[in-house]
Amino acid sequence: MAPILEIRDVSRRFGGFTAVDRCSLSVEAGSITGLIGPNGAGKSTLFNMVAGNLPPSSGTILFEGREIQGLRPHELFGRGLLRTFQIAHEFSRLSVLENLMMVPGGQPGENLVDAWFRGRKVREFEAKVRERAEDVIDFLKIGHVAREPAGNLSGGQKKLVELGRTMMVDAKIVLLDEIAAGVNRTLLNDIAANIERLNAERGYTFFVIEHDMDLIGRLCDPVVVMAAGEVMRTGSLAEIQADAAVVEAYFGGSPMGHATTRAGNSA
């Protein structure tokens, strides 16, 4: 498989502090690639640069072979690079269905002329978007909350809606930022199963920041380890767990299996 995302010697400095230091890695198309490391390793800063929220101080980021550093998040969204967040960003007063229907860009109903004079065009497009949203709801098995205001959902249900929003457009790669945070084990299992299905059935590529080693072990191969802003090791989780230097840098010598960060107890 060819890389869909390549990060070449990327650095990010904040004044005299270097958060990411000449980082290089690649994500192969069709993979679920994990990104782990201790707090302060530079993982979120790296995600922010890939997603267009921060420009790199130096280095190159390639998506499908084209440089993307400096592009804004909405431009990357249009190219099929999407990101979810550790804390879900829902429209709290809109229903789950409406949240999903908000995702596709360029809807004719957003154009004043179309809204006033081309009502049929608007209605036909909205019907297609609604049909797709309902298909996503069926895929994720969240029909029981489809008409519920998204702000009323539990943390885990909101994560499912975030995943559903990536399905409303033709996503090529999805950056998942700590999908397990604040999610109980039952819902986390549902989220993981849906990620596996999207990868296997629809060819989604995922790049995953996560502290939960059980989830990393289930989903991710390869796994990239960052420490002090640099890539330290890339390999399977078993290879990483057996690397004494990684264990020392990540957990100060504690066995990785004993340091697994568990998801919270909220739903």
Q: Which residue matches tokens 């004043």?
A: 112
- Map 173-201 to HEC letters: EEEEECCCCCCCHHHHHHHHHHHHHHHHH
Task: Tell whether 137 and 189 lie within a shared domain.
Answer: no
pLDDT confidence of residue 265: 37
Using CA atoms, how far residue 251 sits from 45, 139, 185, 228, 233, in Å, is 21, 38, 24, 13, 15
- Identify whether 42 is part of a domain: yes
ω into residue 104 within 30 of 0, thus cis? no
DSSP for residue 82:
E
Of 123, 152, 181, the residue that ends a domain is 152
Which DSSP symbol is given to 83? Answer: E
- 105 with 194, same domain: the answer is no
Q: What pLDDT score does 146 carry? A: 94
* Domain region containing 108: 92-152
Q: How buried is residue 61: exposed, middle or buried, by Cβ count under 10 Å (0-12/13-18/19+)?
A: buried
Check whether residue 32 and residue 71 sit in a common domain.
yes
- Pairwise CA distance, residues 146 & 257, whole Å: 38
Identify whether residues 85 and 147 lie together within a single domain. no
Same domain, 180 and 86: yes
**Whether the Cβ atoms of residue 153 and residue 60 lie closer than 8 Å to each other:** no
Total number of domains in the chain: 2
- Structural domain includes residue 267: no
pLDDT of residue 103: 81
Whether residues 54 and 102 fall in one domain: no
> Do 83 and 103 belong together in one domain?
no
Same domain, 254 and 177: yes
Does one domain contain both 237 and 201? yes
The answer as to whether 251 is a domain residue is: yes
Measure the CA–CA gap between 201 and 213, rounded to whole angstroms. 24
Contacts of 84 (CB under 8 A, 6+ apart): 159, 162, 163, 166, 174, 175, 176, 177, 179
- Which of 121, 152, 183 terminates a domain? The answer is 152
User: Is 173 found in the same domain as 85?
Assistant: yes
The CA R_g of the chain, rounded to the nearest whole Å, is: 19
Domain final residue, candidates 118, 152, 186: 152
Across the chain, which has 267 residues, the per-10-residue mean pLDDT values are 92 95 96 93 95 96 95 92 82 92 66 54 78 92 94 91 88 91 87 93 94 93 94 93 85 52 39
Q: Do 205 and 101 lie in a common domain? A: no
- Residues 186 and 238 reside in one and the same domain: yes
Q: Which candidate, 197, 206, 152, 205, places its Cα nearest to that of 177?
A: 206
**Cα 198 from Cα 193, distance rounded (Å):** 9
Residue 188's domain is classified under what CATH number?
3.40.50.300
